[in-house]
Structure 1
Amino acid sequence: MPTESLHYAEKIDDATNYIRQRITSRPRVAIILGTGLGKLATYIKPEATLPYGEIPHLPQSTALSHQGQFVIGSLEGIPVIAMQGRFHLYEGYPLSDAVLPVCIMQKLGADILIVSNASGGVNPQFSGGDIMVINSHINLMFQRQPELAGNEVIPKSQDQPGTLIYDRELIGLAIRAGRKHDFCIHQGCYVSLSGPNYETRSEYRMVRKIGGDVVGMSTVPEVLTAYSLQMRVLALSAVTNVAKPDAPSETTAEEVVDIARLAEPKLMAIVTEVLEAL
Structure 2
Amino acid sequence: MNYIESVQHAASYIQEKLDKIQAGTIAIVTGSGLGGLVDGIAAPEKLPYTQIPGFPVSTVQGHAGTLVQGHIEGTPVIAMDGRVHLYEGFSPREVTFGVRALHEAGVRTIILTNAAGALNPGFEVGTPMLISDHINFMVGMNPLRGTNNDAWGPRFPDMSCVYDVKLRTLAMQCALKQGMRLETGTYMGVMGPTLETPAETRMYRIMGADAIGMSTVPEAIAAHHMGMRVLGLSCLTNKNLPDCIEEVTHEQVLEQAARSSKAMTRLVLEILKNLD
Shorter-chain TM-score bucket reads: over 0.9
Measured on the aligned residues, the alpha-carbon RMSD in Å equals: 1.7
Provide the C-alpha distance between the structure 2 equivalents of 1:34 and 1:157, rounded to a whole number of angstroms.
29
Q: Contact 1:140 / 1:194 at 8 angstroms: preserved in 2? A: yes
* Cα offsets for 1:107-157 (capped at 9, x unmatched): 111110101000000101011101110001111013447995122154236
| Aligned pair partner of 1:270 in 243, 259, 267 | 267
Name the SS for the 2:39 alignment partner: helix
Instruction: Indicate the residue corresponding to 2:51 in structure 1.
Output: 54
CA contact (8 A) 1:25 1:79 kept: no
The CA deviation at 1:19 is: 1.4
Q: Is the contact made by 1:26 and 1:109 (CA closer than 8 Å) also made in structure 2? A: yes
Normalised TM-score (structure 1): 0.93
Kept in 1, the 8 Å contact 2:143–2:218? The answer is no
CA-CA distance at 1:182 after TM superposition: 2.1
Deviations 1:217-244 (A, max 9, x none): 0000000100011000100000011112
State the match for 1:10 in structure 2. Answer: 5
Is the Cα contact below 8 Å between 1:23 and 1:47 reproduced in 2?
A: no
1:11 partner letter:
S
Corresponding letter in the other structure for 1:270: L
SS of the aligned residue for 1:163 comes to coil
Which residue pairs with 1:42 in the alignment? 39
* Residue from 194, 218, 221 that aligns with 1:221: 218
Partner of 1:23: 18
Q: What percent identity do the matched residue pairs reach?
A: 38
Aligned equivalents of 2:155 and 2:269: distance in 1? 30
CA contact (8 A) 2:57 2:83 kept: no
SS of the residue corresponding to residue 265 of structure 2 reads helix
Q: CA deviation at 1:46?
A: 3.6
Conserved in 1, the CA contact under 8 Å of 2:143 and 2:222? no
**In structure 2, what is the Cα distance between the partners aligned to 1:25 and 1:76?**
20
Secondary structure in structure 2 of the residue aligned to 1:58: coil
CA contact (8 A) 1:132 1:187 kept: yes
Deviation per CA, 1:168-221, whole angstroms, max 9, x where unpaired? 111111112112222221110000100000111111101110100001100000
Alignment-mate amino acid for residue 138 of structure 2: M
Q: State which of 75, 98, 101 in structure 1 corresponds to 2:98.
A: 101
Residue aligning to 1:111:
108
2:134 counterpart of 1:142: no
CA distance in 1, matches of 2:245, 2:39: 38
Contact 1:204 1:243 in 2 (8 A): yes
Counterpart among 191, 194, 214 of residue 194 in structure 1? 191
Specify whether residues 107 and 32 from structure 1 end up closer, same or farther in structure 2 by C-alpha distance, changes over 3 A only. Answer: same
- Partner Cα distance (2:206, 2:156) in 1: 26
Equivalent residue letter for 1:237: S
Do the aligned residues in 1 keep the contact of 2:96 with 2:143 (CA within 8 Å)? no
The residue identity in structure 2 corresponding to 1:8 is Y
Corresponding residue for 1:72? 69
Q: Which amino acid in the other structure matches residue 88 of structure 2?
A: E
Please name the residue that 2:154 is paired with.
156
Q: Which of 256, 260, 266 pairs up with 1:259? A: 256
Gaps of 5+ in 1: 1-5
Change (3 A) 1:241 1:146: closer
How far apart, in 2, do the equivalents of 1:68 and 1:159 lie? 30
Please, what TM-score do these two structures have when normalized by structure 2? 0.94
Aligned length: 272
Aligned AA (1:10): E
Inter-partner Cα distance in structure 2 for 1:200 and 1:259: 21
1:169 and 1:233 mapped to 2: Cα distance? 10
SS of 1:97's partner is: helix
Q: What SS does the corresponding residue of 1:221 show, helix, strand or coil? A: helix
Cα distance in 2 for residues equivalent to 1:240 and 1:121: 7
Tell whether the 8 Å contact from 1:114 to 1:234 is kept in structure 2 after alignment.
Answer: yes
